[in-house]
Amino acid sequence: MKGLGKTLILLSAVAACLSLLIVCDATATSASPALSQQQKLKLGERIYREGILPNGEPLMAFVKGDLPVPGTAFTCISCHLRGGIGSIEGGVYTPPTNGKTLYQPLKKIHKGVEIKYGEDPFRRPAYTDETLAEVLRTGTDPVGKILDDVMPRYLLEDEDAPLLIAYLKSLSSEFSPGVTDTTLHFATIISEDANPADTEAMVSGIEKFITDKNGMANNYRNVRTPRDRMMAKAMSTSKELELRKLTLSRWILKGAPETWRRQLEEYNRREPAFALLGGLVNGDWQPIHQFTEENGIPCIFPNTDFPVISDTDWYTLYISKGFYQEGEAVARFLNSKEELLQDTRIIQIVRASREGRALSAGFEETWKTMSHNPPLTISLAKEEQLSDAMVSKLTAKEEPLIILVWDGPDSGRILTALANGKNKPTMVFASSSYLGKNLMTLPEQVRDFTYLSYPYRLPQDKVIDPMMGKAINFQVGDNRVAQQTYALVLTLNMAVMEIKGNYYRDHFLDAIGMSMDRVVPLYERLSFGPGQRYASKGCYIVQLAGGENPQLVKRSDWVTH
């Protein structure tokens, strides 16, 4: 019966293929005439990205010849990526699927050089709508070559194939805004009341990178001897950048945040940017995040401790989750201490501030996913002080107690009251970032039970090159924005090189998502993967050693999310 089932499945696939050949003249028009072109593209996009058909059912596919699987598990985007330019991973080459490539002959290339001799210099002719539907269904290309089994065979009905094909034709078909014949244009967003020192640290770092890259491209254009040209090419980001220089403009936001959207739209209309680099505003980043999502503009590493936390948004890449990530790390650390959690009360004291709310949200939302009961929450208004009587009441019961103090620089007063109370808590957690400069001055009497979330590389730790096994010395400076800009420049340099002249915004983000881990002075590790939006995914749990000039002592490995 198993053999018969496989035979029936294969016969169904063959029948679908034959039905396509019979109605091939109608493939371009088989979609409902009631649908607009935009609606058709959205339906095709859903098939490509999610593996979901217009009727809401999963697209069915076959892998390894005859193994049926839902297309949601083998979506086009999972291999060919969002921009459709393809990838190379684990030695497997995934070719482009954008119409600009598919509807042109595929040239023969040997060691990077195009082969122009012989009767047929092409590996395959340009696809047509019919041959493209054929290869999607049967894995057979226009010259009869059978594609690798890695490529699924999809059961596309006659009314669905044209929708996917129409989307592939539109995918990465024209260079994105911000690209001209002579320039690749970037912008950075700054509010007029942003810290001047931080603004200078960020802008000078980005502008130096752009100046250096433009200088390398000029050298490549101007050298004369083959040897010098080879050296200049090695120093330049890519041959394609000979034709274009990098430029940067500043989008200065003025006034209240509710007016920023109108200003951003005007900047985007007058001088569209291929991508936004960094960014620094005195306020919430959310309005800018929303603008980039709705306009499809990549934004790389804005300087904010309050990023938008989302599993679905695409266009903003944050260097971390900020304060939210510290709360998240405390939840993960406590979850690993199963012996402490039995019959233990957890209380969180939350200051009514952006920092306090973000720390609390990171802890609570992560804690909930681990099937724990929510902590008891005590909220403190902006100027409210936690009285000694309230502290005594919190610790009155003689049972193990864990307290999370999501408060700012004055947290030391609460911690001291807890230390002097009748029943000292088992563990108290606080945020090193929220404590700020008061971190290193916590009273000696609270250090034995106080644990701190610390989202950076420890100051005393050396930075080791993972390839060479040697310490790396960075000349970046102590300014945190300067160090984050250094991470931005490393990421940007790699991405500009890897897109190889394919100036499509989604492909730019795909290139970053496929990049190698980065070693930087500020963070323990920066890494991306396809679809990931946060580069630094970890946090240490530390304690403060004794003495007037204490060091931070690790009490955990790099706790990751």
For residues 48 and 16, membership in a common domain is answered with yes
Closest of 297, 171, 316, 238 to residue 497, by C-alpha: 238
For 35-92, what is each residue's pLDDT tens digit? 899 999 999 999 999 999 999 999 999 887 678 888 888 899 988 999 999 887 766 7
Which tens digit of pLDDT belongs to each residue from 309-368?
998 999 999 999 999 999 999 999 999 988 888 878 899 999 999 999 999 999 999 999
At position 205, the amino acid (one-letter code) is: G
Enter the tokens of residue 518.
């980065």
pLDDT band at 232 (very low <50, low <70, confident <90, very high): low
Question: What is the value of pTM for the model shown?
Answer: 0.86
Domain closes at, from 138, 170, 202: 170
* pLDDT score for 394: 79
Q: Which of 157-171, 322-336, 364-378, 507-521 has the lowest mean pLDDT?
A: 507-521
| Residue 527, domain member (yes or no) | no
Tell me what pLDDT residue 469 has. Answer: 65
Percent of residues, the chain, with pLDDT higher than 70? 84
Q: State the average pLDDT over residues 125-150.
A: 91
Q: Are 432 and 554 in contact (CB under 8 A)?
A: no
Q: 128 and 208 share a domain?
A: no
109 shares its domain with 212: no
Write down the pLDDT at residue 440: 92
The predicted-structure confidence for 422-445, as pLDDT tens digits, reads as follows 788 889 999 999 999 999 999 999
* Residue 530 located in a structural domain: no
In a domain, 494, yes or no: yes
- For the residues 363-392, what does the mean pLDDT come to? 90
What are the Cα distances from residue 47, in Å, to 71, 156, 171? 9, 10, 13
In a domain, 175, yes or no: no
Give the Cα separation of 540 and 560 in Å (integer): 9
Q: Does pLDDT of 17 surpass 80?
A: no
Output the pLDDT for position 184. 95
For residue 310, the domain's CATH number is 3.40.50.2300
Judge if 108 and 139 occupy the same domain. Answer: yes
Query: Is position 176 within any domain?
Result: no
> pLDDT digit string (tens) for 412-421?
989 998 988 8
CA distances to 45, 153, 380, 444 from 51, rounded to whole Å, are 9, 13, 47, 58
| Arithmetic mean of pLDDT over the chain | 85
**pLDDT value of residue 327:** 97
- Section 396-404 average pLDDT: 80
On whether both 19 and 117 belong to a single domain, the answer is: yes
Domain containing residue 435: 324-454+541-560
Per-residue pLDDT, averaged over 291-320, amounts to 96
Residues 409 and 554 in one domain: yes
Q: Are residues 307 and 328 in the same domain?
A: no
Q: Is residue 466 part of a domain?
A: no
Which of the residue ranges 17-31, 103-117, 235-249, 424-438 would you say has the lowest mean pLDDT?
Answer: 17-31
Residue 468: is its pLDDT beyond 70? no
Which of 22-36, 154-168, 394-408 has the highest mean predicted lDDT (pLDDT)? 154-168
pLDDT score of 111: 43
Asked whether residue 534 is domain-assigned, the answer is no
3-state helix, strand, coil in the chain (%, to 5): 40, 20, 40
pLDDT of residue 531: 78
- Which pLDDT value is given to residue 292? 98
**Are 333 and 313 in a shared domain?**
no
pLDDT at 108: 57
The answer to whether residue 285 sits within a structural domain is yes
- Position 32 pLDDT exceeds 60: no
Predicted confidence at residue 10, as pLDDT, reads 39
Question: What is the rounded distance in angstroms from the CA atom of residue 319 to the CA atom of residue 462?
Answer: 21
Residues whose CB is less than 8 angstroms from the CB of residue 148 and which lie 6 or more positions away in sequence, other chains included: none
Share of the chain above pLDDT 90, in %: 59
Same domain, 344 and 237: no
Smallest CA-to-CA distance from 100 within 171, 43, 157 is with 171
Torsion over CA of 197, 202, 207 and 209, rounded to 10 degrees? 130
Looking at the structure, tell me whether residues 8 and 152 fall in a common domain: yes
Long-range contacts of 385-390 (CB under 8 A, 24+ apart): 385/413, 386/349, 386/414, 386/417, 388/417
Q: Are residues 313 and 334 in the same domain?
A: no
> pLDDT of 109-119, one tens digit each?
544 444 455 55
User: For the segment 195-229, what is each residue's pLDDT rounded down to a tens digit?
Assistant: 999 999 999 999 999 998 888 777 666 665 666 55
Q: Coil, strand, or helix at residue 135?
A: helix
Give phi and psi for 318, each to the nearest 5: -95, 150
- C-alpha 353: how far from chain center: 27
Both 165 and 187 in one domain: the answer is: no
Structural domains of the chain, count: 3
